[in-house]
Amino acid sequence: MIYKGGCHCGRIKFEVEGNIESVVECNCSICKNRGYLLWFVGREQLHLATPEADLASYSFNKKVIKHNFCPTCGSGVFGIGTDKTGAAKVAVNVRCLDDIDLTKLKIMPFDGRSL
């Protein structure tokens, strides 16, 4: 399935391919404060319709994840990093996907605060 998504103001637009089986609700400081519900996919599954230069990003702590957001409206759309094998991964904020019924998602808690 192909999902379309973007930020609140429409400056950032993207598509992501895959099937959402579950999402992660992390309690680390950034995920908790921004209300992220994350769906992890391979980097090749994300297709930007907006130039990458239009994204703003923020990294903290070990600086291994590039948290991307819209510099105009501030919506946190996705993060980019690597998994334990070194494969490029994207953590899509499903709250930024069009036509997603959040009540139908299987939400998996993750204790990122303790890492």
CATH number at residue 74: 2.170.150.70
Whether 110 maps to a domain, the answer reads no
* Total number of domains constituting the chain: 1
Q: Which residues contact 25 (CB under 8 A, 6 or more apart)?
A: 31, 36, 37, 38, 107, 108, 109, 110
Please give the model's pTM, rounded to 2 decimal places: 0.92
Q: What is the pLDDT of residues 38-87, one digit of tens each?
A: 999 999 999 999 999 999 999 888 888 899 999 999 999 999 999 989 99
C-alpha span between 68 and 74 (Å, rounded): 9
Give the pLDDT of residue 27: 94
Q: Domain range holding 72?
A: 2-95
C-alpha span between 110 and 6 (Å, rounded): 24
Average pLDDT of span 5-15: 97
